[in-house]
Chain A
């Protein structure tokens, strides 16, 4: 990680929330740029070149999703979406358009900071540049197609291996059902979430994960899964 201070653009129309985010983020060594409307957000994004954007989906001028569309046309900056609970469709929509991750309001600062850090971590552009993934006690060796957990080798089917590979490549970040299905089963099966549920259940069993209190694969209700990064 470089020495320079990372800049985070906060696009939110609520003063309280912007102030809270400024305090929380600045306390952890980030510089904060603020915008209150979508228009302003797009402008700041262009002229300040932030390292990360935190975007509230409930903006007054236009739906925050339009900001994602606009910004994604010319930038790969990570976008962290804020949205109220029970607006899962909006979140999925935002993630499908190029949002990088989401946090439900009300959120805890620790949760938000964990997402911010995961998104800012330097990672290679293309996942195939990397050959060995190691997240916590789980290690996936791509060339040898081998998975170990705390040194113990796991026997995984091809689909299970692909699933774990994709999750590890995005460790700490949410991946939507659609992304996983498209990546592993192909575009035709984009909405067959039943496959996914079954394979995730099998993978968890092999990893020795307790779905009710997951250590590895967390369910993001209505959205997808997240491979948990240890603190």
Chain B
């Protein structure tokens, strides 16, 4: 902003203007005295006229008039006979002087008007430039960071300090910029009052050095407050600054409105995602609770009603059904609980020293019936270190992977679980000899309620298992991935865990 170009000196005090007007007039007279012998009287008059126009352009009408009077007096004193007297003897000279005063009056006022227009257009251009600067920031403003920069841009544009406050859901004001220095309680109260009052009538006559608050109204009502403070010593607001301030307020209001809309969109997206999950959960719950319950109720009612008629092997089989279905139900409930914890932002791991072999044993213990007819190969490297992690979370991961392996591979086929150390990573693999998972589905199987597509049969899965495995593995700061089993058959699920805290060593006990 080139406000200090020579055309416009808004900061000039009136005395300085008139001093300059006098000086310019005197200089012109002095020059005309020097050039008096060379130039004709008409040209000398034009020279003086030039001084009047110059002052008019620089300082407006009144200083121009001053210069013209100085020049007229100087002309009558130095040039019009009798010289060195203010008397004008010659009628011609008197007329010339009269014309000069009139002409300088007119040109001075023209120049002054030009000066005014120019100054005005500079102000306008300046204001537009500042507004543009602020709106440029606004285009991207949705997050709080950008709103902070909009606030700063507004402050720059006003040459003042600017704070934006946004009303939260409880209706109290919060600063957009969390790093900004806190306002005085009194100023905060003022801001709050400005936000709640019915008529919005900003007190723009406030003294420099104290806060002025303006309410920011969005489409559906007030959204926040803009606080502005000019540095001490700044003059009262003129009408241009007032217009600029009000325009900036509109921009700030638009910025807050946009933020509110973005939040609404995000919320509605989250709501619809939650809705989708809830529907999927309900259908899963109703199916996965009912299936084992049907088995339990059926078997138990048969036992209760037909006891006398049932041969011993049938009775035992029914009892086994009750037990295995009840255990399945128990696993499902455990998974639901895990999922709830993951959905609630992930479980807080509670690490301690664990032996992976113990964790595998715990997982196997809960699945003894599921894995009863399986040949299970457990292969943990002799050098595999003690792990410093939440053993319960890892046990849930391994149990779910083994349960899945049993579900998605034919009865009687072997399942293996192995663990190796690879540098600073523990690599755990659960391998089955099932159909495997197509490459294009390997990423999506980890999403909640996903089931691999099977044309002919529906496998009694819940769509929870792998989503839980991923959630819990992430809580353990590890990663999980589906691969093809060895020899291109079956599924291999690989869990990678960081080992930086774990060790094989134990200090002298």
Interface contact B509-A219, CB-CB below 8 Å: no
Which chain A residues in 186-230 approach chain B with CB under 8 Å?
A: 189, 192-201, 210-214, 218-219, 221-222
Inter-chain contacts of B362 with A (CB < 8 A): 219, 221
- Chain A interfacial residues counted at CB < 8 A: 26
**Residue in B361, B388, B392, B506 whose beta carbon sits within 8 Å of that of A88 in the complex:** B392
Write out, one digit per residue, whether chain B residues 348-367 have a CB within 8 A of any chain A CB (1) or not (0): 00001111011111101000
**A222→B395 CA distance, assembly (Å):** 11
**A159→B509 CA distance, assembly (Å):** 9
Which chain B residues in 487-509 approach chain A with CB under 8 Å?
A: 506, 509
Which chain B residues in 377-396 approach chain A with CB under 8 Å?
A: 378, 380, 386, 388, 391-392, 395
B334 at interface, CB cutoff 8 A: yes
A106 at interface, CB cutoff 8 A: yes
B330 at interface, CB cutoff 8 A: yes
**Residue in B330, B353, B364, B380 whose beta carbon sits within 8 Å of that of A194 in the complex:** B353
Interface contact B354-A106, CB-CB below 8 Å: no
Interface contact B355-A219, CB-CB below 8 Å: yes
B326 at interface, CB cutoff 8 A: yes
* Nearest chain B residue, comparing its CB with the CB of A201: B355
Inter-chain contacts of A192 with B (CB < 8 A): 509
Q: Determine how close the nearest CB of chain B comes to the CB of A96; give it in whole angstroms.
A: 16
Inter-chain contacts of A200 with B (CB < 8 A): 355
* Nearest chain B residue, comparing its CB with the CB of A198: B506
* Highest count of chain B CB atoms <10 Å: which of A88, A106, A192, A219: A219
Inter-chain contacts of A198 with B (CB < 8 A): 386, 506, 509
**A3→B352 CA distance, assembly (Å):** 46
B337 at interface, CB cutoff 8 A: yes
Interface contact A197-B353, CB-CB below 8 Å: yes
Q: Determine how close the nearest CB of chain B comes to the CB of A4; give it in whole angstroms.
A: 33
Write out, one digit per residue, whether chain A residues 145-165 have a CB within 8 A of any chain B CB (1) or not (0): 000000000000001000000
**Residue in B326, B334, B354, B395 whose beta carbon sits within 8 Å of that of A197 in the complex:** B354
* Nearest chain B residue, comparing its CB with the CB of A218: B361
Which chain A residues in 75-93 approach chain B with CB under 8 Å?
A: 85-86, 88
Inter-chain contacts of B355 with A (CB < 8 A): 197, 200-201, 211, 219
**A212→B361 CA distance, assembly (Å):** 4
**Residue in B330, B354, B357 whose beta carbon sits within 8 Å of that of A212 in the complex:** B357
A166 at interface, CB cutoff 8 A: no
- Provide the main secondary structure of the chain B interface: helix
Q: Determine how close the nearest CB of chain A comes to the CB of B389; give it in whole angstroms.
A: 12
Inter-chain contacts of B358 with A (CB < 8 A): 211, 219, 221
**Residue in B326, B388, B392 whose beta carbon sits within 8 Å of that of A221 in the complex:** B392
Write out, one digit per residue, whether chain A residues 176-193 have a CB within 8 A of any chain B CB (1) or not (0): 000000000100010011
Inter-chain contacts of B395 with A (CB < 8 A): 221
**A196→B354 CA distance, assembly (Å):** 10
Interface contact B353-A222, CB-CB below 8 Å: no
Inter-chain contacts of B357 with A (CB < 8 A): 201, 211-212
Inter-chain contacts of A159 with B (CB < 8 A): 509
Q: Determine how close the nearest CB of chain B comes to the CB of A212; give it in whole angstroms.
A: 4
* Highest count of chain A CB atoms <10 Å: which of B326, B361, B391: B361
Q: Report if A219-B352 is in contact (Cβ < 8 Å); known contacts: A195-B506, A197-B386.
A: no
**Residue in A106, A193, A212, A222 whose beta carbon sits within 8 Å of that of B364 in the complex:** A212
Q: Report if A193-B352 is in contact (Cβ < 8 Å); known contacts: A106-B326, A212-B364, A222-B392.
A: yes
Q: Report if A194-B392 is in contact (Cβ < 8 Å); known contacts: A85-B334, A212-B360.
A: no
Q: Determine how close the nearest CB of chain B comes to the CB of A72; give it in whole angstroms.
A: 27
Which chain B residues in 325-360 approach chain A with CB under 8 Å?
A: 326, 330, 334, 337, 352-355, 357-360
Interface contact A221-B391, CB-CB below 8 Å: yes
* Nearest chain B residue, comparing its CB with the CB of A202: B506
**A27→B332 CA distance, assembly (Å):** 31
Interface contact B380-A212, CB-CB below 8 Å: yes
Q: Determine how close the nearest CB of chain B comes to the CB of A88; give it in whole angstroms.
A: 7
Which chain A residues in 40-88 approach chain B with CB under 8 Å?
A: 85-86, 88
Q: Determine how close the nearest CB of chain B comes to the CB of A157; give it in whole angstroms.
A: 10
**A159→B395 CA distance, assembly (Å):** 29
Q: Report if A219-B353 is in contact (Cβ < 8 Å); known contacts: A159-B509, A198-B506.
A: no
Write out, one digit per residue, whether chain B residues 391-403 have a CB within 8 A of any chain A CB (1) or not (0): 1100100000000
Q: Determine how close the nearest CB of chain B comes to the CB of A110; give it in whole angstroms.
A: 11
Inter-chain contacts of B360 with A (CB < 8 A): 211-212
* Nearest chain A residue, comparing its CB with the CB of B378: A212
**A106→B378 CA distance, assembly (Å):** 27
Q: Determine how close the nearest CB of chain B comes to the CB of A158; give it in whole angstroms.
A: 11
Interface contact B509-A222, CB-CB below 8 Å: no
**A128→B470 CA distance, assembly (Å):** 50
**Residue in A201, A213, A222 whose beta carbon sits within 8 Å of that of B391 in the complex:** A222
- Top 8 A-B pairs, shortest CB-CB distance: A211-B357, A219-B358, A194-B353, A212-B378, A198-B506, A195-B509, A193-B353, A221-B362
List 12 A-B residue pairs with CB atoms under 8 Å apart, sorted by A's residue number. Answer: A86-B334, A194-B353, A196-B353, A199-B509, A200-B355, A201-B355, A211-B357, A212-B357, A213-B361, A213-B364, A221-B392, A222-B392
